[in-house]
Amino acid sequence: MNGTYTKAVLALGSNLGERNETLTEAVADLVDPPEVRLLAVSPIVQTKAVGGPAGQPDFLNMVITVETSLTPQELLEHCQAVENKHHRVREVHWGPRTLDVDIITYGDFRSNDPTLTLPHPRAASRAFVLYPWSLIEPAATLDGERISTLATRASDFGDLAPFDGFGDFDGMPTAGAVEER
Ligand code: ADP
Ligand code: MG
């Protein structure tokens, strides 16, 4: 750590359990240490699970931007500690998970290391990352292209839906967000 802060983009996803509550707590956990400061929070979007076993619940996804004095590796370990706190189960690759936290970018840092590839190798083709990110950073680019352009080109773009927090509730909510069970 050298006391200077670098901007990082983090993508959060959840498709098991109390998904909204998990994302809410995860954002708080991610920015809890003084080494990680919150810059912006996207809306939550709802998306079909991409890849992995069929019949998974829909994902809730969001993006936050932070500035951090952690190194890329330290930030990855921090993100994984937050995943583990939420009892993330890693048994099925691309299977349902209570919480997934990916580092999308860390400043201009580039890495081909499989344990931490930056920018995230699949971000440029995932509308569930690109679209919420574009809402908080409209001018951001990836691979030299506007992320909003990449979002509309991504094969899952049509699967995105706004998340209104009220599940199947038809009318005025009485108390907060209702989750499907
Ligand atoms: P995915 O996020 O692709 O669905 P996982 O969350 O299970 O899959 O990640 C598997 C591994 O990916 C992690 O153990 C981590 O070391 C590695 N990884 C590589 N690059 C990144 C990145 N930019 N952000 C998060 N994890 C990464
Ligand atoms: Mg991940």
Q: Determine the Cα–Cα distance for residues 101 and 104; give it in Å rounded to an integer.
A: 9
The pLDDT of residue 15? 87
As a whole number, mean pLDDT of residues 57-83 equals 96
pLDDT tens sequence across 145-178: 999 999 999 999 999 988 877 654 444 444 444 4
- Taking every pair of Cα atoms in the chain, the longest distance, rounded to a whole number of angstroms, is 52
Give me the pLDDT at residue 54, please: 72
CB of residue 102 inside a 6 A radius of ligand 1: yes
Return d(Cα 95, Cα 155) in angstroms, integer.
19
Q: For domain 6-166, give the fold.
A: Alpha-Beta Plaits (3.30.70)
Cα(11) to centroid of ligand 2, in Å?
9
Angle at 141 between CA 115 and CA 39, to 5 degrees: 75
CA angle 41, 22, 12 (to 5 degrees): 45
Q: Which of 57, 59, 28 is nearest to 132 (CA)?
A: 59
* 9, 76, 110, best to mutate for ligand 1 pocket (most atoms within 8 Å of CB): 76
**Tokens 């990836």, located at residue:** 142
Q: Which has the higher per-residue pLDDT, 3 or 12? A: 12
Distance 131 CA to ligand 1 centre (A): 20
Question: Is residue 19 among the annotated active site residues?
Answer: no
Looking at residue 175, what is its pLDDT?
43
Range name among 31-45, 66-80, 91-105 with the lowest pLDDT average: 91-105
Domain extent listing, the chain:
6-166
Q: Does the predicted TM-score (pTM) go above 0.85?
A: yes
